[in-house]
Amino acid sequence: MARRASPVYVGYGPMTRLGKYWIFFVIVAVGLTLSWTQIGRKTQRLFENEPIIFLTTELSCHVTEAPCAALAADRAVVVGPAPTGLLVRQTGLSPEKIARMEAVFFSADGDETGRQLLARSAAAWPVAAVPTGSTLLRLRIVGDRQATVAEYPL
């Protein structure tokens, strides 16, 4: 009687365990490559749609002790102490074109300790209170199809 060969592995013999692992590795690698490629394209489109302007903060700046400025060529944001927390003032952007101003606080290890949406009162934006353990304040101003970001040490 003639022996029938398996239709899947004709001429190659049975697949070894190492071969199965190799195929699994190739499938995972191709999947990860395609996934990261898509994420990169999405991020690029996001940055093209909303340009970000990073402000340069003054040296030896501590906003809880004295006012401190972050500057760019056409705008500035000053943060200083206030009786109820901090006070933010800006120049160079029309207040009507500011859609949102947000304060995000971070600890020394980079974990987020708090987030506040700021509401304008008179000519400034008050920050209610600084969360305990915060060492960095990041202000993000969104408006007029661009974002402005400034970071201040606490």
The pLDDT of residue 98: 87
Report how far residue 65's alpha carbon sits from residue 33's, in angstroms, rounded to the nearest whole number. 48
Cβ contact 140:48 at 8 Å: no
The pLDDT of residue 1: 54
The pLDDT of residue 24: 87
β partners of residue 91: 76
Cβ contact 141:101 at 8 Å: yes
Do 33 and 97 sit in the same domain of this protein? no
Q: Rounded to two decimals, what is the model's pTM?
A: 0.65
Q: Cα–chain-centroid distance for residue 82?
A: 28
Do 75 and 119 sit in the same domain of this protein? yes
Do 41 and 114 sit in the same domain of this protein? no
Do 75 and 116 sit in the same domain of this protein? yes
Do 129 and 77 sit in the same domain of this protein? yes
Task: Write out the residue range of the structural domain in which residue 40 sits.
Answer: 1-49
The pLDDT of residue 36: 76
Please list the ranges in the chain whose pLDDT falls under 50: none
The pLDDT of residue 154: 87
Considering its fold, how many domains does the chain have in total? 2
